[in-house]
Amino acid sequence: MKRIKLKDIRKNDLFYFGERVEPYFIPSLTITGMQDRKKSIKLFNIKSIVRWLQVNDYFYQLTSDLLAIEKEITKNIRRFGGQYVSRLVEGCLGAGKILQKRSVFLGKMAEFFTTKEEIIRAILEYEKVVLDYTVYYQITFFEDPVMRLSQEMVNKYVKGDKLACQQLLDLITISYRLTEAEKEQDDFLRIAIRDKNRRKELVEKHAKKYGWLSIRYFIGDAWTAKDVLGRLRGISKKEAEIQLRNKLVIREQNKKMISQTIAGFNIEDRRIIKQVRQLVFLRTQRVDFLNETAYHIRPLLNRIARELGVVYNDLLHLNIREIALALRGEINYLELIKRRKSNFIIYYDIGGREILSGLEVPRFLKSHSFLKNKIRKAANFVGQVGYYGKTQGVVRLLKKNADVAKVKRGDIVVTNMTTLNYLPALEKAVAFVTDEGGITCHAAIIAREMKKPCIIGTKIATKVLHDGDYIEVDANNGVVTIMKSGNK
């Protein structure tokens, strides 16, 4: 594996992954876990490591690393078949449950620690179980190899009909299990059907069970009963009955259609479908585990923030090892936080990291101007079809939790990537458009569940579209067209 230093990185070395508001605390856990070569070899038979570059909220990967790891994954899938993916799913679910259990325990213990060393031991234990889990975040690298195999298979059975191919691909990429988002939607609709005077207790239980869905990578706060009541005011009992009935009918229809469709497939193709459906579920579930445990561990992080005299969001600009040093008084963490809040670059290299912050960043970007993401203009642009259909509507950009409130029924949600905390907005929208994602991403899964047109992986949607723009989403062909600018 050829070493490339940060200063030597060139434009052609990089693949643009996307824009995400993620302070250092979050990627220091997810990327570090993914880069654990020893675990990767043991669990996945993968030797390749993907290097990442984060420039404030923009993430890049090294293209050569992506090609290498996808080649290894494709080889392993063809060699080991369904057992390879099944082992991955079982391992991820097992590690996720361990992470859940320890996070709940450590969160509950936060207020009982009497010394800083006890707090340090607790946060370092959390780091260990997180890293044991985030090695499974490499599921993201399985998507393209598995989908290429799926596309090859679909083309064998449906020839020459683009829409029929897309419909078959949509069908076989339905998760083999309900995601937490789907369970929450079902339970929410069941509450909406109940008489209003019997809702209070159900609403409180719902918020307690699913409130963590509004947290994304440690950012945001859990839903409250008040938030659930706000959603309930936007839907009538009759609407809820219709939506829930339709969901259950569609699932049963999909189940029968999948069974009937694959009956004529050969054994190997049926195995591929099983793998795809498992990976679709895991693609969302792997994030759900981390977001839920972020909710459980919050009391410990809040305790640490108080000990250090900083607010919670500022604490997220440190990684766990730096937090431990800060608690021991061994680093100037206030200066570190200040510099990273203004500007930072982190290069996750092989066996180490290069970190720039504050004034170091503009100096570096001066010689690497290709890392400055410029806003592009376009009358139309393309992406991958998440779920087919065609519609028009007003753009509502979602970049943070607070943006959910501005979405009205009939709007089109445009975002970097959809997440569970955006569910209230997605319920109202007529279509979704995202910068990121593949056929197994959250947006595609939700679009197929809700039967709404969806275009994913555009790379530029949030850069060229603005609140108030009127657009057409042609998800039959993967084209987004600006019909009228919201600025005019």
**Is pLDDT at 414 greater than 60 in this prediction?**
yes
Strand ordering across the sheet containing 390-398: 380-382, 479-484, 470-474, 390-398, 412-415, 431-434, 454-456, 384-387
Residue among 184, 103, 92, 77 nearest 132 (CA): 92
pLDDT at 487: 64
pLDDT at 479: 93
- Which of 50-64, 157-171, 350-364, 369-383 has the largest mean confidence? 50-64
Cβ atoms of 291 and 420 closer than 8 Å:
yes
Cβ atoms of 110 and 299 closer than 8 Å:
yes
Beta strand 52-55 with 412-415 is unpaired
Question: What pLDDT band is residue 439 in, cutting at 50, 70 and 90?
Answer: low
Question: What pLDDT, in 10s, does the model give residues 133-181?
Answer: 999 999 889 888 877 888 888 888 887 677 788 778 878 888 888 888 8
User: Mean pLDDT for the chain?
Assistant: 89
Question: What pLDDT, in 10s, does the model give residues 26-81?
Answer: 999 999 999 999 999 999 999 999 999 999 888 999 999 999 999 999 899 888 87
The stretch 256-265 carries a mean pLDDT of: 88
Name the helix (H) or strand (E) containing 428: helix 423-428
**Is pLDDT at 205 greater than 80 in this prediction?**
yes
**Is pLDDT at 420 greater than 80 in this prediction?**
no
The stretch 331-346 carries a mean pLDDT of: 92
Amino acid, single-letter form, for residue 2: K
Distance between alpha carbon 335 and the CA centroid of its chain, in Å? 31
> Crossing angle for the helix pair 37-44 and 82-109, nearest 10 degrees?
130
For residues 91, 93, 94, 97, the Cα torsion angle rounded to the nearest 10 degrees is 160
pLDDT at 375: 57
In the 8-state DSSP scheme, what is residue 33?
H
The stretch 393-398 carries a mean pLDDT of: 93
Residue among 284, 92, 100, 94 nearest 183 (CA): 284
Question: What pLDDT band is residue 233 in, cutting at 50, 70 and 90?
Answer: confident
For residues 303, 309, 312, 316, the Cα torsion angle rounded to the nearest 10 degrees is -100
**Is pLDDT at 211 greater than 80 in this prediction?**
yes
CATH number for the domain whose boundaries are 380-484: 3.50.30.10
Question: CB-based contacts of 242: which residues, under 8 Å, 6+ apart?
Answer: none
Amino acid, single-letter form, for residue 163: L
pLDDT at 212: 93
Amino acid, single-letter form, for residue 228: V
**Is pLDDT at 348 greater than 70 in this prediction?**
yes
The stretch 347-351 carries a mean pLDDT of: 89
Token reading at 171: 């069908």
Cβ atoms of 119 and 113 closer than 8 Å:
yes
Residue among 393, 361, 351 nearest 481 (CA): 393
Question: What pLDDT band is residue 418 in, cutting at 50, 70 and 90?
Answer: confident
pLDDT at 177: 87
pLDDT at 438: 74
Give the rounded percent of residues in the chain with a pLDDT score beyond 70.
98
Spans of all domains in the chain: 6-141+284-371, 380-484
Token reading at 276: 């795809």
| pTM of the full structure | 0.84
Question: What pLDDT, in 10s, does the model give residues 270-282?
Answer: 887 887 888 888 8
Question: What pLDDT band is residue 84 in, cutting at 50, 70 and 90?
Answer: confident
